[in-house]
């Protein structure tokens, strides 16, 4: 994939810098990225792409455009906002990455503040991280597996094991309440917030409570691999592998999943390239955690997905398109953001390609 990185990706992201500027993109509308509010969960992905590009190329233009994002996001802590469990998605690719690459102490402070905020959402009775705000006091969602890296990182930085304890407790609740015997996962688990008692599975952004929303499968396989990397606990690695095997077995011939693996046949024609790119990066994470033929199995699977995204779904040469990948699906049941570019799909595509080109400085 080195040739793709140099000849296609670098000039394309340079073009995106000119097109997007300081906007906070989420989805494209007629090919043009929107400007979403800063407290929206996707606000860290565009600067995260820039930081990866800076580390991989040394080009200071990427660093300069990414530099101020953690300061902008910090303002959401001191003004009215809807920040929730996705502060990991927001501060890992900004403050944490900035601190790793530059040693900036304000970035360190902001990353730890976000970790404290996330730890404060832990429900002790149910042993889960509360996902959203408003009336959803008892809801936990599979996406939170990707935010656990913020807690693991904070434990390493501070020497305080409490962050890690919370991350492991939440992951174990996912093992107990989200995982199914076939390797699929649900999107939402509902608990009684007072007693912690499990109530039910909910479909969320999937087709139904017992379906298999493909981006949720990707969050889960990647998140479990992260938990293994930080803890060395093999139950997390084995779970990541089980989810990966379900995901790979359910893929169609072009290796890019439908938005839900168990949606009705006609509806499965709707793809989700963001699920594909996230899964590819997660598969590379699993490959780095195993050896020999097993490592090759997961690395090859990731490569097949990335090859398909690159040859069929990328927007090379399409000047009217600001996103990297077409045919992302945000929230099919709500009829929102279907067949668009999604900034998180673009981010994980860049992250996965960077891993294939030797990037080691993990943030998730």
Query: Is residue 94 in some structural domain?
Result: yes
% of residues, the chain, pLDDT over 70: 100
Query: Is residue 364 in some structural domain?
Result: no
Q: What's the number of domains the chain is made of?
A: 1
Q: How far apart are CA 260 and CA 275, in angstroms?
A: 10
CA diameter of the chain? 56
Q: Which of 39, 70, 86, 346 is catalytic?
A: 86
Query: Is residue 41 in some structural domain?
Result: yes
Please check whether residue 315 is in contact with residue 324, taking contact to mean a CB–CB distance below 8 angstroms: yes
Three-state SS for 240?
A: helix
pLDDT of residue 319: 85
CA distances from 218 to 240, 278, 291 (A): 10, 6, 21
**How much is the average pLDDT of 56-81?**
98
Q: How far apart are CA 32 and CA 359, in angstroms?
A: 29
Task: Tell me the pLDDT tens digit for each residue of 274-290.
Answer: 999 999 999 999 999 99
Domain containing residue 321? 2-356
**How much is the average pLDDT of 28-32?**
97
Contacts with 146 (C-beta within 8 Å, 6 or more apart), sequence order: 88, 89, 219, 222, 223, 226, 364
Q: How far apart are CA 288 and CA 265, in angstroms?
A: 35
Q: How far apart are CA 344 and CA 342, in angstroms?
A: 6
Sign of CA dihedral 251, 254, 259, 263: negative
Task: Quote the crossing angle between the two packed helices 148-158 and 162-177, to the nearest 10°.
Answer: 150
Residue 2's pLDDT band, with cuts at 50, 70 and 90, is confident
What single string gives the DSSP state of each residue in 4-46? HIIIIIHHHHHHHHHHHTT----BEETTEE----TTSTTTTHH
Is 272 annotated as catalytic? no
Query: Is residue 233 in some structural domain?
Result: yes
Q: How far apart are CA 176 and CA 202, in angstroms?
A: 15
The CATH number covering residue 66 comes to 1.50.10.10
Task: Tell me the pLDDT tens digit for each residue of 103-134.
Answer: 999 999 999 999 999 999 999 999 999 999 99
Query: Is residue 23 in some structural domain?
Result: yes
Query: Is residue 363 in some structural domain?
Result: no
Please check whether residue 178 is in contact with residue 141, taking contact to mean a CB–CB distance below 8 angstroms: no
Query: Is residue 361 in some structural domain?
Result: no
Q: Is 327 left (phi over 0), alpha (psi -120 to 50) or beta?
A: left
Sign of CA dihedral 272, 273, 274, 278: positive
Query: Is residue 288 in some structural domain?
Result: yes
What single string gives the DSSP state of each residue in 253-300? TTS--BSBTTS-TTGGGSB-HHHHHHHHHHHHHHHTTS-HHHHHHHHH
Task: Tell me the pLDDT tens digit for each residue of 202-243.
Answer: 999 999 999 999 999 999 999 999 999 999 999 999 999 999
Contacts with 90 (C-beta within 8 Å, 6 or more apart), sequence order: 41, 43, 44, 73, 83, 114
For the entire predicted model, the pTM comes to 0.98
Is 86 annotated as catalytic? yes
Q: How far apart are CA 182 and CA 186, in angstroms?
A: 12
Contacts with 242 (C-beta within 8 Å, 6 or more apart), sequence order: 179, 183
pLDDT of residue 3: 81
């Amino acid at each position: 994939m080195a040739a793709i990185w140099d000849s296609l990706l670098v000039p394309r992201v340079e073009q995106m810098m000119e097109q997007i500027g300081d906007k906070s993109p989420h989805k494209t509308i007629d090919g043009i990225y929107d400007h979403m509010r800063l407290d929206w969960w996707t606000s860290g992905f565009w600067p995260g792409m820039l930081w990866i590009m800076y580390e991989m190329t040394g080009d200071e233009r990427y660093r300069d455009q990414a530099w101020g994002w953690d300061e902008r996001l910090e303002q959401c802590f001191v003004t009215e906002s809807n920040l929730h469990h996705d502060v990991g998605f927001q501060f890992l690719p900004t403050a944490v990455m900035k601190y790793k690459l530059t040693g900036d102490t304000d970035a360190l402070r902001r990353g730890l503040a976000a970790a404290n905020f996330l730890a404060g959402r832990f429900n002790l009775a149910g042993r889960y991280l509360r996902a959203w705000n408003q009336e959803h006091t008892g809801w936990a969602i599979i996406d939170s597996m990707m935010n656990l890296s913020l807690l693991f990182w904070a434990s390493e930085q501070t020497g305080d094991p409490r962050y890690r304890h919370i991350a492991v407790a939440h992951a174990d609740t996912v093992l107990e309440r989200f995982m199914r015997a076939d390797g699929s996962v649900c999107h939402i688990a509902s608990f009684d917030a007072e007693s912690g008692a499990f109530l039910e599975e909910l479909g969320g952004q999937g087709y139904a409570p017992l379906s298999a929303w493909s981006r949720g499968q990707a969050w889960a396989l990647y998140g479990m691999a992260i938990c293994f990397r930080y803890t060395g606990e093999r139950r997390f690695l084995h779970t990541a592998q089980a989810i990966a095997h379900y995901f790979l077995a359910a893929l169609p011939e072009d290796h890019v999943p439908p938005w839900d693996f168990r949606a009705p046949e006609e509806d499965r024609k709707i793809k989700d390239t963001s699920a594909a790119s996230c899964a590819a990066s997660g598969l590379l994470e699993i490959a780095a955690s195993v050896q020999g033929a097993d490592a090759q199995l997961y690395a090859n699977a990731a490569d097949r997905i990335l090859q398909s995204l690159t040859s069929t779904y990328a927007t090379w040469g399409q000047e009217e398109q600001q996103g990297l990948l077409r045919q992302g699906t945000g929230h099919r049941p709500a009829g929102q953001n279907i067949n668009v570019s999604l900034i998180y799909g673009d981010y994980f595509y860049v992250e996965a390609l960077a891993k294939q080109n030797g990037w080691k400085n993990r943030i998730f």
